[in-house]
Structures are given as structure tokens and as C-alpha cells.
Amino acid sequence: MGSCHYFILLTVIASSVATQVSFPHRIVGGEDANQNEFPYQVSIQAFGRHFCGGSIIGPEQVVTAAHCLRAIPAAFAGLHVVAGKHNLALREDFSQTLQVVKIIRHPKYDVTSVQNDIGILITEKPFEFNTEVQPIRPMPANSTEEGDSVVTGWGVVYENDTRIPDILQKVTVPILPQRTCVRVLKIGRALYNPAVMICAGDLAGGRDSCQGDSGGPLALDTVDDNGHKTRYLVGIVSWGYGCARKGLPGVYTKVSSFHDFISEVQKALN
Ligand SMILES: *[C@@H]1O[C@H](CO)[C@@H](O)[C@H](O)[C@H]1NC(C)=O
Ligand SMILES: *[C@@H]1O[C@H](CO)[C@@H](O)[C@H](O)[C@H]1NC(C)=O
């Protein structure tokens, strides 16, 4: 493993990235989502440009990664969330664009260690819930996350690619056991902390989230004893060593560890 370079997975807006795009992997390894297959997914945009993903968790609440909100001033009129979106290049009548009126970063988000990488955006008015726009439930506290999950986003489809796709991408990735995450991600400054992170991916490489997917959802379907299926938000796209590299799964904020943060924000709104 030559490189200890880790990526924060937001879109590189100015293309300072060199054009050495020879990596053979595709979100990375994914495919086009069906239209409105992921009604909780939003595109977070500054002046109409996508830079991060997010998930609707309440009528006027979107959860994302704190690192997406780092450089954004508290009162910034150019910040919007776009819900119900499928193709970023098209005007879609079923999409809903709402202005963000409040940005709440986790008070203990740490830039250097990428700990507590979670934030909540409050929109000017509630979303209109319908088949295209729906909230997702955050994973309850003290859960054990395991199984195949699905990550979605408009992030690049190759590591270091400079252009994001127009159509929302999806890829299924297994959530790995914490002891595996700790072992394989013990690199350089050892950023991986199982108390606040989960990791998911194919250790053989080839399937992952990448730049521009940041803040977006990692979702897991569970079936209760009555056969009732519920989809939970288990992770928030956070960081990785490159994208889809062999032996290096993607790292996600562990949503179940932030139950108190989320419910306090929600309570304060009522
Ligand atoms: C992507 O860019 C980083 C930083 O320049 C570099 O270390 C890495 O090898 C690049 N990856 C690919 C697949 O070109
Ligand atoms: C989660 O576990 C902690 C420690 O065991 C406990 O204090 C807390 O009440 C639990 N939270 C919930 C929502 O069950």
C-alpha cells in the first residue's frame, strides 16, 4: 500500500485534480438508479451546483456530513437542497428545491480526525412528501449494523475523475464487521474510530462511494418478525483512502451513534 492519502468525499469544485484517470473502476462499480427509487436522497447545491449528498429525515430536516458544511457561512442565501432529483442535467417538474435557513454542524466535529462527521440542514419550509420525496428513518441508538446496504449519490464514478454523472448512481456494499474495519484501515494517522464510524465495501475493491457522494445515504433494509420491511439510514458518506481500492472499504458516519444529536435538533424545532 503506497499511499496514505485519504479523501474527504465532497466534489472537487475547482478542478485542481490532474487528469490521470486510468483507474478501471466505476460510484464506483454501480449503476443508474431508477427514477425516484431513493426518495430520501437530496442533492445539496451552492448556487445551483451539486457538491454533496444528503438524506431527508424530517419535514424540513436534511442530514449530511459536517465536512460538507465546513466552508459555508452561517447565513448563506445560495445554499439549497434539491429533493426528488434524478438527472441533474434536466429540469424535473417533480423535484423540490428548498432554501436552507439553518446549518447545524455537530459541535464535536473534528476536521483533522474526521470524527463526528454529521450535520443537519433546516429548510425554509417543509418538503411536500409524495412518491418522489420521502424521509428515511435514522438507525436507532445501540444498533448493530450488518448486511448488504445501498449507497447512492452523484459522486464521480472513478477515483480522481473530474466530472460527476448526471444520473443518480447506486451500489450495494456489505457493511463489514468493526474488527475488520479497524484492521484494514489502520493506516497513517489511524483515523478509523468504530465508536462513530462504520465501514462498508468489497475488500476485493471495485465498489465504493467517491468524491461528490459525501453526506449522502448508506441505507439498510431490515425485516421485523411480522415480515414488515423498514429501510434505515445507517451511514453518511464520509471518507476513504481513494475510492474502491482493493482492501480499503469506504468509511461512513455511524448514524446510530448520533441518535441524541438528531433528536435534540428535532426537538428544538417543535
Ligand atoms: C488520485 O490522486 C491522488 C492524489 O493526487 C493520487 O495519490 C492517487 O494515486 C490518484 N489515484 C488514481 C487512481 O489515479
Ligand atoms: C444505549 O446504550 C447506552 C449504554 O449502554 C445506554 O445508556 C442508553 O440508554 C442506550 N440508548 C438507547 C436509546 O437504548
From the CA of 262, the nearest ligand is 2
Which has the higher per-residue pLDDT, 98 or 22? 98
From the CA of 259, the nearest ligand is 2
Position 27 scores a pLDDT of 75
Q: What percent of the chain has pLDDT over 70?
A: 90
Alpha-carbon gap, residue 53 to 198, rounded angstroms:
18
Position 162 scores a pLDDT of 82
Q: What is the pLDDT of residues 187-224, one digit of tens each?
A: 877 789 999 999 999 999 888 888 889 999 999 999 88
Average pLDDT (138-142) is 95
Nearest residue (by CA) to ligand 1, atom 2, is: 160
Q: Is the CB of 1 under 6 A from ligand 1?
A: no
51 CA distance to ligand 2 middle (Å): 35
Q: Is the CB of 263 under 6 A from ligand 2?
A: no
42 CA distance to ligand 1 middle (Å): 28
Alpha-carbon gap, residue 118 to 62, rounded angstroms:
11
Position 10 scores a pLDDT of 61
Average pLDDT, the chain: 88
Q: Is the pTM of this model over 0.85?
A: yes
Average pLDDT (137-164) is 91
Q: What percent of the chain has pLDDT over 90?
A: 68
**Any long-range contacts for 111-115 (C-beta under 8 Å, 24+ apart)?**
111/67, 111/70, 113/189, 113/191, 113/193, 114/8, 114/67, 114/191, 114/238, 114/239, 114/251, 115/193, 115/196
